[in-house]
Structure 1
Amino acid sequence: MSDGLPVPAPGGATAPSSLAWQRVHPVTPLVKGWLVLVVVVLGLLRSTAEQGDGDGARFALHHLAWVLLGIAAIVVVAGTYSWLAWRVTAYAIDPDAVHMRSGILFKQHRKARLDRIQAIEVRQPLAARIFGLAEVKVEVAGGDGSGVSIGYLTERTAQELRADLLARAAGLGAPSSGGKQAVAAPADGTDAKHAPDAVTSAAGPGPAPTLHATEAPEQPLFEVPSGRLVASTFLTVEAWVLVLVVAGAVVAAAAARTPAVLFSFVPVLIGLGSALFGRFNRSFAFRAATSPDGIRLRHGLTETRAQTIPPGRVQAVELVQPFLWRRFGWWRVHVNVAGYGREANAKGPTTVLLPVGSRAEATTALWLVLPDLGTADPLALLGEALDGSGPSDAFTAAPRRSRWLDPVGWRRNGYAVTARAVLARSGRVRRRLVVVPHERTQSLGLEQGPLQRRLGLASFVLHSTPGSVHPEVPHLDARDARVLLDEQSVRAREARSQDLSERWLQPPGARA
């Protein structure tokens, strides 16, 4: 395909011809595929060694030339394919969307609308950090795979691109004078005239000028100390199970009088150890700040992440306190963000607003999502939501007969409604509070099993976007649950009609 031609998109669609496509960094294929190349080479060496007649090392040395020739062939083929893949991989930005094209045999064109952006993340895996590169990941409100990943770019270019996209999503980006649209700078540092598919606009041929968006200033809010993170990691169920497994392995080996028994525990030890290290690794150096373009989160040890969640994109927030954290007053804060649902199950920190922190830090994280809780005394309401139990002026609690279904935590189950949100609390051993803004209510439902039906109970469920937060008030009186369902549907409809968060920096008169 020659430069300057429109790119075929899936389904027979065609990319706009006015787009100024910019290539990613030339080292991108190496950063993405180095691990696969290493595995193939090691597999070849191992296969060659295993073919020896009882002496793999001598056989490998004897056939060293063939081994090196095979490795060279693999490198040439992989290098050629990577170069071709890099040639056809490019991105572009117009006033309404960000585009990404890729693919040699099976061409792909992705488009993410700016007004549907839920979060923008700058990722730096370990290999990318070695080369000073980063990936810009744009999450939008859509199904699985609806986001756009642009990578890899130089770290400076990635930061500028994030600022550019956030400015456009906020309603500040606009076509420049002369009929040319503003686009991001080339990722590989080359002159824009060398980029594929150069723009031909009303003002004449040539690429569109760059929009140099200045990153908005930020105000740091909190940072998680490494000592607290380590302590909280060991005060988890996984850590105690790991200790018990190690103790059991030692006792079993002593009873059998052979260390061979220890090998049977290796898979369990690796699994639990990986889970604990993964939690520490992903939450290391966690920092949060606020800025006009949204909530900024930075974290990670081997892979650093810099997330920006624009205002109004959080669908639900959850404050959790495991039993072992209660003595220290620590809480963890999760959120649901549209577009992060699938990844949230695999890489939890994409939905963590605070991995571990004090109550003051947890409430600060909540204020980031919902600055106005819609009540005259929000601190008193939150105190009752986090520590209280039973009915009160603010909370409607589960009836006493629900103890047959939840004998431990039934007194904590309940809800409160303010002018801005629904608060659902539950759990006595593991305290939990979920807050859902009215305008973020996706749908509502009542669940009633046979035992609940016999006891006159029902569980109220607020359906949110996929993620780690599951808003629910279990075992309410059936009449209270029905009233809440009817009233909340009205509140959610009215709140959505007044929601203006899509272009949050745009003047109100321009949002029509």
Structure 2
Amino acid sequence: MTAPATPPEHPLPTTTTPPPSPPEQPNPAGRPDALAPQLAAGPGQPHPAQVIARQRLHPLSPVLKSVRTLTLVIVAVSWRGVQNLGPDKYALVLLGLLALVLLYSAVAWRFSGYEVIGRELRIHEGVLFRRTRAVPLERLQAIEVVQPVLARPAGLAELKLDVAGAGKAEAPLAFLPLAEADALRARLLALATRTPVPPVGTAPPEPTTPAVDQPEEPDLYRVDNNDVVVSQFLTPPVMFTPLAVLYIVGQLLFNSDFGVFAVASMVTAVAGTIGAPVMRILNFWNFRIGRAPAERLRIRHGLLETRSQVVGPRRIQSLTVTWPLLWRGKGWLRVTLAVAGQSSVGADGQQSRAETDRLLPVATVDTARAIVPLALPGLDISTLPLSPVPHRARWLAPLRRRVLAAGLTEHAFATVDGLLTRQLTVVPYARIQSVRVTEGPWQRRLGLATIYVDVAGSTPAAAVHRPLAEAFTWADELTKRARAARAAMV
């Protein structure tokens, strides 16, 4: 059940010769007014309110992108560089590498940039091989402003575009001055709302987003950093880490055959175990939620690398509430969002360990009841009309039977599953892509079936072991409600 594709509302300009454009005004990089429209409207051209003239990235962008490769090269040269070359020649080699990086950066910056034509963002890059990547703004789901550690001293930021159907961040813009990145994000989100373009010759519409320098609203909620630390260490691997450390110490003291390589291997394993929680602590530090224009949510967090993301309720594909086993004693849970195209891949193409899908990294039920309706209006996670599976499902899920539940609410489909780690998954009707009913061989004997609700960019929500008649009734009802919800959004 997939919505038919619609042609773009604003085709690209034709090949007719446009009237002469006014001379370019000086546009210093790093100022929000550098994003002002610079092309005059003409026959067959997009309205000026829908165009951003070509802008260049910050000159330090190629340097910051290449810093990892440059560091590896310096380390490789430094391994035996001083011994084989001597201090003087070694210093000349480093200066030569630095000069090459600066030369490459200057050439790359000369040919890099971005522009918006109609409702398409075009990103230009490349030195030997020039590339132009086009991102349709209709598919734009969310935009995240990221400030890596190396970019923060220079006041630069990276713009990561989450696009529906993409497996990673689509053509990230790295790097821009922070003020320009915030202004560009606001403008791209405004263009992605499908506001109709006025006829040629009429005045452009009033901007739907406030000025960049308008004071921001105060944060709606801040997560306690102490709760973040405690929650990330309340995991089974981390809790058993002290035993592993004691084992290593005991082997060193009482076992003379315990070699250096064995110790190094175990220390590496321990470091890898506690590395993921430490990275999450750094990522979720100072986690706060605020309001953005057009009823969007602004989520900001991070200690070393700061992140700022703006997500609209219509872009959320599903919401998941998780109760980990070791958190239940403190009454904690976490809430995650699934946004089509959302990814943790950085500008260098490497997989990032930072998790960017959190609405609440750790919270109580009362806090979740207050914050979740900001993402999905009208949803109360404590009063969902969920029904359990029938008693005969005990033959297929003897331990999980008391946990399994599902139901159709006013605005969304909800399921509960998980024995040790319990999960509540909620899918808004307007985000449903397809509905499937499956029957396994043992389910057929018991008159049971599983309903799968597919959404873009996320794992399907499954209501397992439902009565067969109920499963087909729900499938028909979900199809009708999904069609009606999408029609109401147009």
Q: Same fold (TM over 0.5)?
A: yes
Match of 1:280 in 2: 281
Match of 1:458 in 2: 449
Note the C-alpha offset of 1:359: 1.0
Match of 1:492 in 2: 482
Tell me whether 139-148 or 227-236 shows the greater mean CA deviation: 139-148
Report SS of the residue matched to 1:29. Answer: helix
Query: What is the CA–CA distance in structure 1 between the aligned matches of 2:203 and 2:151, rounded to whole Å?
Result: 33
Are residue 81 (structure 1) and residue 96 (structure 2) matched? Answer: no
Counterparts of 1:458-477 in structure 2 under 5 Å?
458-467=449-458, 470-477=460-467
Which residue in the other structure is 2:236 paired with? 237
Distance 1:241 1:351, change over 3 A: same
Q: More helix by proportion, 1 or 2?
A: 1
Change (3 A) 1:248 1:482: farther
Task: Determine the C-alpha separation between the residues in 1 that align with 2:374 and 2:247.
Answer: 45
Q: Does residue 36 of the first structure (1) align with residue 72 of the second (2)?
A: no
Matched, 1:396 2:387: yes
- How many Å separate the matches in 2 of 1:133 and 1:106? 26
1:318 to 317, 320, 324: 320
Summarize the alignment of residues 197-208 of structure 1 with structure 2, pairs less than 5 Å apart. Answer: none
1:367 pairs with 2:373:
yes
Q: Provide the residue aligned with 2:417 in structure 1.
A: 426
Aligned residues: 434
| Contact 2:405–2:463 (8 Å) recurs in 1 | yes
State whether residues 411 and 428 of structure 2, in contact with CA within 8 Å, keep that contact through their aligned partners in structure 1: yes
Q: Using the alignment, how far apart are the partners of 1:496 and 1:172 within structure 2?
A: 17
Counterpart pick for 1:334 among 332, 336, 352: 336
Deviation (angstroms), 1:229: 0.5
* Stretch deviating more after TM superposition (487-496 or 145-154): 145-154
Post-superposition Cα deviations, 1:86-140, rounded to whole Å, max 9, x if no partner, equal 1011111244232211112222212223332210111000000011111122222
Q: Which residue of 2 aligns with 1:195?
A: none
Residues 255 and 115 of structure 1: is their aligned pair in 2 closer, same or farther, counting only changes over 3 Å? same
Task: Determine the structure 1 residue equivalent to 2:396.
Answer: 405
Q: Which moved more, 1:224-233 or 1:101-110?
A: 101-110
1:165 matched to 2:188: yes
How far has the Cα of 1:217 moved from its partner? 4.3
Aligned position for 2:30: none
1:482 is aligned to 2:472: yes
Q: Secondary structure at the match of 2:466?
A: strand
The alignment's TM-score, normalised by the length of structure 1, stands at 0.77
Residue 494 of structure 1, CA deviation:
1.8
- Which amino acid counterpart does residue 353 of structure 1 have in structure 2? L
Cα gap change, 1:167/1:176 in structure 2, threshold over 3 Å: closer, same or farther?
A: farther
1:438 equivalent in alignment to 2:426 = no
Q: Secondary structure at the match of 1:128?
A: coil
The Cα of 1:243 is off from its aligned counterpart by: 3.3
After superposition, the Cα gap between the structure-2 partners of 1:285 and 1:372, relative to the gap in structure 1 and judged at 3 Å, is same
How far, CA to CA, are the matches of 1:444 and 1:342 in structure 2?
A: 28
Structure 2: gaps of 5 or more residues: 1-23, 25-44
For 1:79 and 1:175, how far apart are their aligned partners in 2?
45
- Amino acid in structure 2 at the alignment position of 1:458: A
Shift of 1:30: 1.6
CA gap of 1:429–1:144, structure 2 versus 1, over 3 A, is: closer
Instruction: Give 3-state SS (helix, strand or coil) of 1:334's partner.
Output: strand
Identify the residue that residue 113 of structure 1 maps to in structure 2: 136
Q: Secondary structure at the match of 1:126?
A: coil
Cα-Cα RMSD = 3.1
Q: 1 CA distance for matches of 2:345 and 2:427?
A: 21
Q: Report the AA paired with residue 61 of structure 2.
A: T
**Whole-Å Cα distance in 2 between the matches of residues 67 and 181 of structure 1?**
60
Partner residue, 2:27: none
TM value normalised by structure 2? 0.80
CA distance in 1: counterparts of 2:323 and 2:424, whole angstroms = 9
Aligned counterpart, 2:53: 20
Residue-by-residue CA offset, 1:7-63 (whole Å, 9 max, x unaligned): xxxxxxxx99x86211111111222112211210120121435xxxxxx4xx443xx
